[in-house]
Structures are given as C-alpha cells and as structure tokens.
Copies of this chain bind each other. A is one copy, B any other.
C-alpha cells in the first residue's frame, strides 16, 4: 500500500505577462499551487524582449528553485511547468520547459498532454533531419514549432495544430510574447486569469490564481490559440472541432477541488457525484467514511444524499514519501499498512459505507476493507463515485494496461468478492455526467466506454531505449 491505486497526474502549465512585476517569482508561486499535477521536475523560462533565460531541474517546485537561481530570471513574460512523467522516461532531458534557439529566435514550450500521433510526427522530424535528444512529446512539439512551416509564430502554431492529434495544452514563450494553445478536443483544462489591470495569466487550473492575488477570467476554448498581451488574451485562431472531449478524470480526481471548471468548483461537482451515488446505490449502514483525501467531497455528498452521518474512519500518514526501505517478508506477512490506520472508535460494530473516487487496479481497496473489519466494522459497503474503468487511456493519462485493470478482468460481483466487501457499487456514467453537467455532454469517456474521441497510434517505446 505504499503507492496509490490512482491514475497518474498529468502536468501543470503556467504563463504570465506582467511588465512591472517579478514574473519568475509569480510563476514560482503559480507552479507551487499546481504541484499536485506533477512532482517529477519543474522549470521556469523568462523572456525580456531579447533573450530567454530558464532554469529547470528534477524535484518539487520548492526544491528546484531558490533565490539564487530565480534571480537571473528577469523579464516581463514567463512560462512555468511542473511535470509528471507520462511518455518519456524520468530524466532531466525530459524536464520542461523545452528551450531552443530557432530561426525566429529563442523558443520555450511547456506541454500538458499526450499526442496520439507522436510516433508519426517524430519520424517526420527525423526524416527532416532533426536529431532528437529525448523521448518526450514536448521535444517533438518544440522542434515542430522551431522548424515547421510558417513565417510567424502565429502561423507556426496554426500549422502545428493541423498536424498534431491528441491532448495538448501548451504555453509557448518567445523572446517577447507568450501564447496558450488548447487542443480542439479540450481534453485537459487551460484557463485565463488576470492580476490587477495589465497582467494576464494562463494556468492549467484556476487554483493557481488565488495564491498570487489573481482572478479567474475564462477558460481557453478547445481549439483556441491565445496570445497574452497587456491588453488581455487575444484569440489568434479557433480550430474547428467536431465536439469537445474533456477528460472526465479531471472531474473525478486530477484537478484540485478548489479549481473551477465551467463555473463550478470541482469540490461541488464531487459532492454532487456523491449525492448521485447515494441516490443510485443506497446502503443500509450507520455511517459514511471516505478514503482520504481525494474521496472526501464525494463522501460528504453521499452522506448528504443518504442522510447517513459523515465521519472519518481512516487516518492517512501525512509524511508518506518516497522511501528506499522495503518491508521484509515478515512485515509483508503482517500486511503492513504504512499509509492508513483505522479509527477503531468510529468503526466498532458499525455498518460502514466506504467512499472511494475510483478503482484502477484494485490492489489497495482490499487491504483497506480488511483494515476496517479488523478495527471492528461489522459491514463494509464500498461505493465508488466513478464508473468501472475497463479501458486504458491512450490520450496521455497513465492509467494502466488492460490486464492490470480490475474492472476489465472481473465482474462487479467478482470485484466485490475480491475486495472482501459486503457490497460494491459504482456510479453510473450517466450519474457522473449528470453531476458534472454543464451545457451539453462534452466529455471523453474512453476509459469507461472504450470509445475514444480520436484514433490512436500505438507507439513502440522500445525504439527509444537509446536515451
């Protein structure tokens, strides 16, 4: 139970134009708020009208930056990036922003997402004579922009959007401008913020605005290219799209509960998910508890919907970090549970509804059920505030492969048995969408339904062993 049974977070991107402020420092605090989207590496690039300077390194935002390496990053436009490894191995070469000198001048790119035709684009670059130093999509994107058709950055960005498929939220920095790009499917979020009168921002999530005193203005639309100027975001293009396909896992788990999408906080939508779940799958029980921390809003919603009292039944060790020490056989036998402890007082002789927001591989839920029983729970009814995940994500979320997905291998009854639960129910796809509903159904449901909004190239990762 050292690792979570959750899909892996994506990356966080940030951008700012602020002629009279310390853009690097503001970007630092913006990334700080986006840290949940990626903990592997962080980077900031700043431009001053003439040149780009940057610093990036492996580690948390707070570890990567100090006053000494922040100081040289002076300018009036900046982008920042915090990375969770999806494709591309875990190496400094893959840290972002990716910065190059190009014929049009310096260029820095931060990317959240995954191109579905990356292998083709990569091959085209190699055939065009570009040597590629890493295995990340972001280098591919950067070299496509650096050397692709188009006489201006605007033209180049448009050409890129014609060629690229899949998920991409980009922040693009040149020597004197900053752009934001969101793919036509709108798979991942990107939004515009304002700080004072003349300072404008882009961020993966609106939670990056509050801590620096900025406010949410609007989402970048699917297929939109914006240029940030002191006058605000200028729309340079709007690529046509059949219909949006927003990643539902942003609504279930990825985005911070205090971020807003379509005018509501994720927290409110997750509470609504819990309420839907209570309506669809009630349980005869004494109390409702979450798997902390991510399922807490859904558990509050379930409690509201069911009228059962909300409580806590599991305590999470807040200091769980990457440890190099492995349990030995004896410890494995006793079923070591480093992450959670059960709260006997609240559980003894109780019928418990345990709320989780999602089950991917199903390897941590069983031990949690056992933990609750050992602490005295008489019954454990597992309720999941998302549908069964039966398909991998081919658009960039590190979900799992078919054989790893428990809901692909087993029926719900079998899963219930596997977990040792008294009952198990998932929220329906309709219920989920209802809880997240804004106007129209604009979601990607690939991992639930197997129907993806785009064709997918299956990349042979082995080719890139060389780096």
A contacts, CB < 8 Å to B: 21-22, 25-26, 28-29, 32-33, 35-36, 39, 50-54, 60-63, 65-67, 70, 92, 98-103, 106-107, 126-133, 142-143, 145-148, 175, 195, 207, 210-213, 256-258, 260, 264-265, 267-268, 271, 293, 296-297, 300, 303-304, 309-312, 315, 317-319, 321-328, 330-331, 333-338, 341-346, 464-467
Contact = CB atoms under 8 A, between A and B. Distances in A.
Nearest to A28: B325
A300 B300 CA distance: 11
A399 B328 CA distance: 40
A26 B334 CA distance: 12
B128 A101 contact: no
A211 B371 CA distance: 11
A148 B260 CA distance: 49
* Chief secondary structure at chain A's binding surface: mixed
A338 B467 contact: no
A148 B303 CA distance: 60
Which of A60, A207, A257 has its CB near the most chain B CB atoms (within 10 A)? A257
27 contacts: A25-B325, A25-B327, A25-B328, A26-B331, A32-B323, A33-B341, A35-B319, A51-B466, A52-B466, A53-B465, A60-B321, A61-B319, A61-B323, A62-B324, A66-B325, A99-B466, A100-B132, A102-B129, A129-B147, A211-B336, A213-B333, A213-B336, A258-B315, A258-B341, A265-B343, A265-B346, A267-B312
Nearest to A296: B312
B466 A53 contact: yes
Given A63-B321, A99-B466, A267-B343, 20 more contacts: A21-B330, A25-B331, A29-B327, A32-B338, A35-B317, A62-B325, A65-B323, A102-B129, A102-B132, A103-B126, A129-B146, A130-B147, A131-B143, A256-B341, A257-B312, A258-B315, A258-B341, A267-B315, A300-B310, A303-B310
A129 B128 contact: yes
A33 B102 CA distance: 38
A315 B259 CA distance: 10
